[in-house]
């Protein structure tokens, strides 16, 4: 059974959530690439100020919630979306990235992989 967080731990977590939402510059996102809390990483990835480069770094996160935020983000690059669909077995991240790419005219084969022309 997990132990309860202390008041200090809860306050620190809330502070990190606030910083993730408030990040503006690429350097502001740096602490969140390795934050131990996957939900805080997802909030940072969903921040409207995240650039294509920041999102590309978040795309490597092993937590699907972070990848889904990247796939849905308005600033994500086509290259990052294509990387997110490299494995059709990756569930929700794959589906969201594929939807975005199909809306841009990218076709997919029966095997689930993007077709390049």
Q: Can you give the pLDDT at residue 9? A: 94
Q: pLDDT in tens for each of the 117 residues of the chain?
A: 778 999 999 999 999 999 999 999 999 999 999 999 999 999 999 999 999 999 999 999 999 999 999 999 999 999 999 999 998 887 999 999 999 999 999 999 999 999 976
Burial of 110 by CB count in 10 Å (0-12 exposed, 13-18 middle, 19+ buried)?
exposed
Radius of gyration of the chain (CA): 16
Q: What is the pTM of this model?
A: 0.90
């Amino acid at each position: 059974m997990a132990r309860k967080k202390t008041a200090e731990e809860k306050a620190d977590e809330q502070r990190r959530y606030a910083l993730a939402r408030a990040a503006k510059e690429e350097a502001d996102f740096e602490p969140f690439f390795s934050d131990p809390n996957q939900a805080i990483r997802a909030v940072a990835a969903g921040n409207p100020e995240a650039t294509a480069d920041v999102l590309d770094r978040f795309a490597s996160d092993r937590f699907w919630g972070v990848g889904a935020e990247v796939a849905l983000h308005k600033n994500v690059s086509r290259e990052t979306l294509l990387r997110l669909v490299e494995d059709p077995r990756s569930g929700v991240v794959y589906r969201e990235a594929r939807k975005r790419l199909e809306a841009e005219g990218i076709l997919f084969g029966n095997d689930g992989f993007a077709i390049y022309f």
